[in-house]
Amino acid sequence: MKKTKNKLLMTVLAIAFTVLGCGALMGNASGTTAFAAEADNVCAHEYETFEYAPTCTNNGFTEYTCSLCGDVYRDNYVQATGHNYTDVVIEPTCTHKGFTTHFCNVCGYEYADSYVEATGHTYDDVIVDPTCTEQGYTTHTCLVCEYFYVDSVVPENGHDYELEIKEVSCTEGGYTTYTCLVCEYSYQDNIVEATGHSHQESKVEPTCVSYGFTVHLCSDCGDRYVSDYVKPVGHTFEDTVYEATADSIGYTKHQCSVCDYSYLSDYVTSGDNGYTQLPEEPEVPVEPEQPTEPIEPIEPIEPEEPTEPSEPTEPENPDLGGGEEENPDNVGGETETHEYVFGYQYDNESKLLTITYDCECGETYNGAIQFFITDSAENTTVEVLNGNGSIDFTDKQDDYTVIVIEESGNVIGVLDVKNKVEEPVVPDKPEVPVEPDVPSEPDEPKEPSDTTEPENPVEPNEPTEPETPNEDKEEKGNSSLLPLLLVIFVVLGVGGAVTYILIKKNKNKNKNKKEKGDK
């Protein structure tokens, strides 16, 4: 059974490698014949010569090798040359030993000797003191190789804070500032938002000639602003007629029942050999018009007092926006009343609004004058002058309405300050006019040519089905390969059989030769 399996395996291998098997068979046959011929004859050596030069550690010689049988022998020995050293001295360092290196310049062999101990580090110590936020320590640095290490670590000191408390106000928040007295590091804590104003309203009623308004005064910080202006109500006069007598002239007295302001008019004489000299009739004051916006009312001209009549009293000065001050030091014991006139001028170049509030006698008003400055967005700021002065509008780049109020609360002027900066408009560069083309005479219209009717569109051909591959040709090609395959299998089978027979004969022949040799 075992022999059958081996024969079957040999047959399969022979069929798979027919060509290679034939070549191997021929080669084995020729090799076997050559080996037998050499065994019967003595080798006639054919030597090849190789010379080996001496090295530092090995001798030189000549080697002879037979190219036929491989026989080898040596002669012509030369002594080894020995090493050719170069010595390099390595100095010792702080951490490594010193030594001498001997290096062969021919073969590269080297060795070291003459060792010297390491010198060790030479340290320079630097002490770093601790700070508020960083540790202290000592640094040891070698002066030779710059190696260093750190020890003697001390914890940081921490901050030494000083507290500064900022109180909360109506417009600014409060907080506590902690500042280190050593390194000046600071931070804020306990932050409180601004409380906002607590305004208390105080209403001032309008008078005959003064505006009414509402004053809003913060009870915490004193912030103040004015709103809700009301026009003056005007005078309510009651007329009293005084008849002329032989000793005095007659006149009509107009007395305001609200503010006690009065003036005289309509002077007459008796005409009966009595008082005939007429005083100059004073100008009748003009009632101030009710303005749409608060403006300084026109102050009436005080009429001259008659020289002789004793009954008429001097009319009281109305409060028409001009301030009055009594002068107790007036000579003669009589009270002197100042009549102040408000004036202003705005300079566009210097941006200064200059105001004057002076009496005809030369006295200047020395009370506080408030200026309520409202911009186009209705945001109001307040500035105060004591007497004459100027307000700088350099940082106020808008159009403003300014209401001027004296210390007693009377509106003495309403001003418009035009200070809005208009961005200059760069005019567009004018385009160079293009000369119009000279119109050419129109061509005479041509008669339309006969139009041909469009051809009917050609309908597209229906797509044809793709051609199917020629199955007959494929079947024919496949059928033509069958005879070729059959021929190949037959040749492989025959070749395998022949190969097996030759191998078997070769083995038997070798076996017979071996048995003869043993005998």
* 303, 283 Cβ separation under 8 angstroms: yes
Instruction: Sort 324 into a burial class: Cβ within 10 Å, 0-12 / 13-18 / 19+.
Output: middle
User: Does residue 285 share a domain with residue 180?
Assistant: no
Higher pLDDT, 501 or 312: 501
Pick from 473, 497, 519, 517: nearest CA to 13: 497
User: Does residue 310 share a domain with residue 211?
Assistant: yes
Instruction: Sort 270 into a burial class: Cβ within 10 Å, 0-12 / 13-18 / 19+.
Output: middle
SS (H, E, C) 265-323: EEEECCCCCCCCCCCCCCCCCCCCCCCCCCCCCCCCCCCCCCCCCCCCCCCCCCCCCCC
Task: Give me the chain's average pLDDT, please.
Answer: 75
User: Does residue 179 share a domain with residue 146?
Assistant: no
Pick from 250, 258, 257, 253: nearest CA to 239: 253
255 within some domain = yes
- pLDDT value of residue 517: 56
Which run of H or of E encompasses 230? strand 224-230
User: Does residue 382 share a domain with residue 366?
Assistant: yes
Q: pLDDT tens digit string along 185-222? A: 999 999 999 999 999 998 898 999 889 999 999 988 98
Q: Rounded to an integer, what distance in angstroms lies between the CA atom of residue 210 and that of residue 235? A: 11
* 107, 56 Cβ separation under 8 angstroms: yes
**Poorest-confidence range of 101-110, 354-363, 486-495?**
486-495
| Domain around 392 | 321-327+336-421
403 within some domain = yes
427 within some domain = no
Residue 133 φ/ψ region, left for φ over 0, alpha for ψ in the -120 to 50 degree band, beta for the rest: alpha
* 139, 150 Cβ separation under 8 angstroms: yes
| Beta pairing, strands 237-242 & 212-218 | unpaired
User: Does residue 211 share a domain with residue 305?
Assistant: yes
Q: Rounded to an integer, what distance in angstroms lies between the CA atom of residue 190 and that of residue 167? A: 11
User: Does residue 130 share a domain with residue 97?
Assistant: no
User: Does residue 176 share a domain with residue 101?
Assistant: no
User: Does residue 303 share a domain with residue 239?
Assistant: yes
- pLDDT value of residue 510: 67
DSSP state for residue 420 in the 8-state scheme = -
Higher pLDDT, 399 or 301: 399
Total structural domains within the chain: 5
- Mean per-residue pLDDT, 67-83: 93
- pLDDT value of residue 248: 81
Q: Which of 421, 449, 466 is the last residue before a domain boundary?
A: 421
User: Does residue 342 share a domain with residue 415?
Assistant: yes
9 within some domain = no
User: Does residue 375 share a domain with residue 414?
Assistant: yes
User: Does residue 396 share a domain with residue 293?
Assistant: no
Dihedral angle, C-alpha 67, 71, 75, 79, nearest 10 °:
90
19 within some domain = no
474 within some domain = no
Q: pLDDT tens digit string along 221-240? A: 989 999 999 989 899 999 99
Q: pLDDT tens digit string along 278-322? A: 445 445 444 444 444 444 444 444 444 444 444 444 434 334 344
Q: pLDDT tens digit string along 118-141? A: 999 999 999 999 999 999 999 999
128 within some domain = yes
Q: Rg of the Cα trace of the chain? A: 67
- CATH code: domain of residue 412: 2.60.40.3080
Gap between the terminal Cα atoms of the chain: 33
Q: pLDDT tens digit string along 46-65? A: 999 999 999 999 999 999 99
User: Does residue 256 share a domain with residue 300?
Assistant: yes
Q: Rounded to an integer, what distance in angstroms lies between the CA atom of residue 56 and that of residue 81? A: 5
Q: pLDDT tens digit string along 93-111? A: 999 999 999 999 999 999 9
293 within some domain = yes
Q: Is the pTM of this model over 0.75?
A: no
